[in-house]
Structure 1
Amino acid sequence: MLLSEYGYWGEELLGPITAFDREGYESVFATPTGKRPRALPPSLDPGYVDPPLGRSVTTPEVAVAARELDESNRLDAPLSLSAWLPERPYDSEPDHLRRLEAYYRELGEVDADIEQYDALVIVGGSGPIVDLANNGRVHDLILAFLRADKPILAECYGIACLAFARDWEDRRSIIWGKHVTGHCKEYDYKDGTGFLGVDFNMGPPPYPLEYILRDATGPDGRYHGNVGRETSVIVDYPFVTARSTPDSFLSGEKLVDVLETGLRRYGW
């Protein structure tokens, strides 16, 4: 379960992990540099009104459970992607060819490492905009799971990682031709996009995820916003995508269905 170090949305971790705990799965957490992840404060506040929706998106029960999870010791020692995966060298670096060979050699070791895992989850919130979406190591981890034909669940702004994950040979998005959902334009903030660890209000999100997903899926795929519907979860194997906070529990359940019953398509 991959989390941002700049803040995750509480329910978007709670939903999947509740389904996994119920099945007896072991959940392993990771962050870009091994720093302990923390929930975004509004996601733990049932009184916080989501501006685009005009209502609270966090029930009192979810707020309590998400806070208990965030304050537990389960997230105390996440894996560090920077220690686990190699970084692709710049073309301008000295001895570039040897460095590139070493990079691919180390990626082969990552392929062996992930045999112990059954699925990858990218938890959403505003934090992934900062340190997950265009993180090369995140992309390489996603590609490793893809090569191993293992399912990948991405939520909310974490879905940008799928759009940007590309093999350097053809540079085409891995969701080309796929059906996905994700944070729709109607649900984007006009102001107030915030992150943990920085005193900065970005205003609106720096990119409209819906437009990126529409382009990344190409003419034979499709983005599904499902605006007005309470939930939006799409399964187009190996990908499970969840639009936003209300979809967190359903997305976890659908990933379990993928693993346990062989579900390959859902939601369109």
Structure 2
Amino acid sequence: MSKRILVVLSEFGYWGEELVGPVDALDAQGYRITFATPTGKRARALPPSLDADYIDPPLGRSVTTRDMARRARELDESSRLDNPLSLQDLIPERPYYSSLNHLRELEDYHRRLASGVGDLIAGFDALVIVGGSGPIVDLANNERLHEVVLAFAAADKPILAECYGVAVLAFARDLETRASLLWGKHVTGHPKEYDYKDGTGFIGVNFNMGPPPYPLEYILRDATGPDGAFHGNVGKETSVIVDFPYLTARSTPDSVPAGELLVQVLENGLRRYGW
């Protein structure tokens, strides 16, 4: 039976190549891909990611080839991204501790949560969180997505996160222990050197955040602890780390090898790569 992959996209903009890379590798294997967004709104690519002439400020060069810009635009404009699943519909919202009937509401929450994540775990073999600046807004601290990540990790199913999507792994925590899922793990992600000083942008809002609101590298260094590590691999063309069940990709050019490595994890049992 063909494997099924759940791909989560931000509604505030994903980076084109960071979707194309995994999708191409998964399509080549004949895997079935289902897309999801936080509220079921159709995702769109960040305009700079479709422009081969756009100069990435930290790197001082274009990071998108003309061929990749074309492929990303074709995928972004295709019907494949229409009608994504809604995490809001699938996963309940944890009640506030200050709610009047908190105990009963929390019991109901756990009943509905078990059903929602149980269906996802039964239906999918892997989870992919696509990067770009959009995830900063609606994925990084999305408690519904955190519950999905926790469930995939508990089921020992692979989770690929790219760029600022890696923040989801750092923030997805069991609220009983508050311990990081990445403690003792090796990961990569957007390093400090790759962060914009100005111009971090999003789709759907007329707002220039300036630099990112948090340096992902610092968060990942803290989250992995003394027995794990963050690997920025600055100065190397690509950076992808596999420390099962997590696969982490640093930025745009890492999306193609990340997709290929996810296939290796699913087909050949790869559990460690990149350090």
TM category, shorter: over 0.9
User: Which of 60, 67, 73 is 2:73 aligned to?
Assistant: 67
Deviates more, 1:112-121 or 1:2-11: 112-121
CA–CA distance in structure 1, aligned partners of residues 191 and 156 of structure 2: 28
Letter in 2 for 1:166: R
Alignment correspondent of 1:190: 197
Residue 64 of structure 2: aligned partner:
58
In 2, the alpha carbon distance for the partners of 1:104 and 1:70 equals 36
Which residue type is aligned with residue 124 of structure 2? Y
Matched residue type, 1:22? A
Question: 1:121 deviation in Å?
Answer: 0.2
The 5-angstrom pairing of residues 81-100 of structure 1 reads: 81-100=87-106
Tell me whether 221-230 or 103-112 shows the greater mean CA deviation.
103-112
Matches of 2:66 and 2:245, distance apart in 1: 33
Tell me how far apart the structure 2 counterparts of residues 32 and 90 of structure 1 sit (CA, whole Å).
19
2:3 alignment counterpart = none
The corresponding residue for 2:153 is: 146
* Counterpart code for 1:157: Y
Provide the residue aligned with 1:20 in structure 2. 26
**Offset at 1:251?**
0.3
Is 1:4 aligned with 2:10?
A: yes
Assess if the C-alpha contact under 8 Å between 1:110 and 1:144 holds in 2.
Answer: no
The alignment status of 1:108 with 2:119, answered yes or no, reads no
Q: Percent of aligned positions with the same letter in both sequences?
A: 73
Post-superposition Cα deviations, 1:40-74, rounded to whole Å, max 9, x if no partner, equal 00000000000110110000000000000000000
Q: Give matches, 1:24-39, under 5 Å.
A: 24-39=30-45
Task: Count matched residues.
Answer: 268
CA RMSD, 1 decimal: 0.5
Map Cα deviations across residues 56-103 of structure 1 (whole Å, 9 max, x no partner). Answer: 000000000000000000001100000000100001111100100011
Tell me what 1:239 maps to.
Answer: 246
Q: Distance in 1 between matches of 2:59 and 2:253?
A: 11
Query: Which secondary structure does the structure 1 equivalent of 2:161 belong to?
Result: strand
Query: 1:109-128 residue pairs with structure 2 within 5 A?
Result: 109-113=115-119, 114-128=121-135
Offset of residue 112 of structure 1: 2.2
Structure-1 residue corresponding to 2:187: 180
Letter in 2 for 1:112: G
Residue 104 of structure 1: how far off its partner (Å): 0.8
* Distance in structure 1 (CA, Å) of the matches to 2:136 and 2:93: 19
**Paired residues of 1:238 and 1:264 also in contact (CA < 8 A):** yes
Moved beyond 6 Å, runs of 4+: none
Q: Distance in 1 between matches of 2:22 and 2:118?
A: 25
How far off its partner does 1:234 sit? 0.0
Letter in 2 for 1:13: L
| Structure 1 residue matching 2:137: 3-state secondary structure | helix
Q: Secondary structure at the match of 1:87?
A: coil
The gaps in structure 1 that reach 5 residues or longer are none
Residue 68 of structure 2 aligns to a residue whose secondary structure is helix
Aligned equivalents of 1:243, 1:233: Cα separation in 2: 6
**Cα offset, 1:111, TM superposition:** 3.5
* Whole-angstrom distance in 2 between the partners of 1:17 and 1:69: 10
The structure 2 residue matched to 1:76, chosen from 82, 85, 103, is 82
Q: Which moved more, 1:104-113 or 1:233-242?
A: 104-113
Task: Please point out which of 231, 234, 237 is paired with 1:230.
Answer: 237
User: What residue ranges of structure 2 are gaps of 5+ in the alignment?
Assistant: 1-6
**TM-superposed deviation, 1:36:** 0.1
Matched position secondary structure for 1:67: helix
Check whether the contact 2:91–2:117 (CA below 8 A) recurs between aligned residues. Answer: no
**Corresponding position of 1:248:** 255
TM-score relative to the length of structure 1: 0.99
Match of 2:4 in 1: none
Give the TM-score normalised by structure 2. 0.97
Q: CA deviation at 1:156?
A: 0.1
Q: Equivalents in 1 of 2:112, 2:39: separation in Å?
A: 18
User: Structure 1 CA distance, aligned partners of 2:229 and 2:173?
Assistant: 18
